[in-house]
Amino acid sequence: GAVVSQHPSRVICKSGTSVKIECRSLDFQATTMFWYRQFPKQSLMLMATSNEGSKATYEQGVEKDKFLINHASLTLSTLTVTSAHPEDSSFYICSARAETSGDYNEQFFGPGTRLTVL
């Protein structure tokens, strides 16, 4: 099956610093990648949809200047949390849609990144 990697898996940073999370599709090309955030005991919340070579589409309530997304290639998308604060502490998950997965648009998920802002 298709594999998506995410790096780092865990990060602890000080308030005010920026953190970059990478999402890579390892064995397929993903023209579309998604970034989710999940707080404890809650469901996945879509933050933005990232299309290769174009600007990301952000969901309502998600600050695009705070959560910078870059999808420079068909296998890599990055999410940068700028000037992170304790309330940004969460589990961030990326997924990639394999356009050639057949007759449905399955999303393959990365393992997630646990961000803790002190």
Partner 1 sequence: GQNIDQPTEMTATEGAIVQINCTYQTSGFNGLFWYQQHAGEAPTFLSYNVLDGLEEKGRFSSFLSRSKGYSYLLLKELQMKDSASYLCAVLDSNYQLIWGAGTKLIIKP
Least Å distance between CB 5 and partner 1? Answer: 11
Of the residues 43, 54, 60, 100, which one makes contact with partner 1 according to CB under 8 A: 43
Cα–Cα distance, 114 to 35 (Å, whole number): 13
Residue 49 lies near partner 1 (rule: CB under 8 A): yes
Q: Are 69 and 35 in contact (CB under 8 A)?
A: yes
Contact segment (CB under 8 A) with partner 1 among 61-69, 73-81, 82-90, 108-116 equals: 108-116
Of the residues 13, 51, 89, 109, which one makes contact with partner 1 according to CB under 8 A: 109
Structure tokens belonging to residue 85: 């604060």
Nearest CA-CA partner of 88 in 96, 80, 78, 100: 80
Residue 62 lies near partner 1 (rule: CB under 8 A): no
